[in-house]
Structure 1
Amino acid sequence: MNKAFTKETDSDGDDDGADGASPPIPAGGKNYITPEGYARLRDELLQLMDEERPKIVETVHWAAKNGDRSENGDYLYGKKRLREIDRRIRFLTKRLEIAEVTDPSVHHGRDQVFFGATVLYADETGAERSVTILGIDEAESAKSQVSWISPIARALLKSREGDVVKLVTPGGAHDVEILSVSYPAPRPATE
């Protein structure tokens, strides 16, 4: 069949996490996110809606006026990019609607692990590692950030400095000791 006659549906990959950005939220779970993470997602959504999408729509409109659409690269790739943008807009809109913004600075000075904590821990071999527990949509492993639903975060949450907790992984259970817990300092109130 000629590719020009195939149809890509808008619902393809419309599930949570289907765009590869984030895993789905566990059933009954909340979409915790820091104020900074919420602002980044909102900024991305506004940039897509106010800047990128209108530019692509203009390109597709211009390309459509040029005649034969089946061989018009600007039209074909513009339509594809438009679907990608629309899919991302739907995803971000859904995630922002169910987001539960939680400010980790309210726990500043405490030694118990809650959402937003930066935890320094040591494994059984004595190797130390530091992780920050953030929301599903904002955690970046390259920056030593983990999602609150990750195995290490689940093991650490609600524990205190000095506690030894069990980390269950596919490779087996391991003991990790919490060496320190810190939170960002509260921001001064702006007038």
Structure 2
Amino acid sequence: MSKAFVSNDDRETDDEGEEAPALPAGQGNYMTPGGHARMLAELNHLLRVERPEVVNVVAWAAGNGDRSENGDYIYGKKRLREIDRRIRFLSKRLESAVVVDPEAREETDRVFFGATVTVSDEAGQENVYSIVGIDEADPGRGRISWISPLARALLKAEIGDTVRFQSPGGTRELEIVEVAYKALG
């Protein structure tokens, strides 16, 4: 059968971009030293370990003859496209990275990028949030992106201020109890 009549669903995924939040126009890709190191380590692992392994498997599978029903070849080529897409994404993000070390900031009661902020809600319950880069955000660990509604409300506020922000559950008010600048583990 001619390849002109064979459907190749893998081609649809080739043009898809990496699913990640877009950077605000005119802004740098702010990140902490730890986040930068993690992204750099992932990029190096993909380039030096994972991609060469997949290339070897694809080359071996290609040498086995008919590629149309060769699972190792088909999966390997698909995995190679995924790896290359991730490498392009990481390279672009790291190119535009502006590394901000929270430990280098002078102690202040004001909230800036990299701050770890303790807040108290209307019920008196305290929560701790660290304001980090877009690619480092992990709300389950208390790390919120600097472009999130909560972080935008907190930025430039100081200890004792009450901030309002729009959450999925409606408008909320939080009082800033403590601001610290420390390395994130």
TM-score, normalised with respect to structure 2: 0.90
Q: For the residues of structure 2 that align with 1:93 and 1:162, how far apart are their CA atoms?
A: 41
Matches within 5 A, 1:44-59: 44-59=42-57
2:12 corresponds to 1:12: no
Match of 1:159 among 157, 160, 163: 157
The residue matched to 2:11 in structure 1 has which SS?
coil
Count of matched residue positions in the alignment of Structure 1 and Structure 2? 179
2:25 paired with 1:27: yes
Q: 1:109 to 1:6 in 2, by over 3 A?
A: closer
Counterpart secondary structure, 1:173: strand
Could you tell me whether the CA contact under 8 Å between 2:10 and 2:78 is conserved in 1? no
Q: TM-score, normalised by structure 1?
A: 0.87
Q: Which secondary structure does the structure 2 equivalent of 1:13 belong to?
A: coil
Unaligned runs of 5+ in 1: 186-191
What amino acid maps onto 1:135 in structure 2?
Answer: G
Tell me the distance in 2 between the aligned counterparts of 1:55 and 1:48.
10
Q: Which residue of 163, 169, 177 maps to 1:171?
A: 169
- The residue type equivalent to 2:33 in the other structure is P
Runs of 4+ in 1 over 3 A off after TM superposition: none
For residues 1-191 of structure 1, the aligned pairs below 5 Å read 2-3=6-7, 5-6=8-9, 8=11, 11-14=14-17, 18=18, 20=19, 22-184=20-182
Gaps of 5+ in 2: none
Q: Alpha-carbon deviation of 1:11?
A: 4.5
Deviations 1:72-119 (A, max 9, x none): 010000001000000000000000000111111122532110111110
CA distance in 1, matches of 2:111, 2:71: 53
Question: Partners in 2 of 1:76 and 1:11 — Cα distance?
Answer: 14
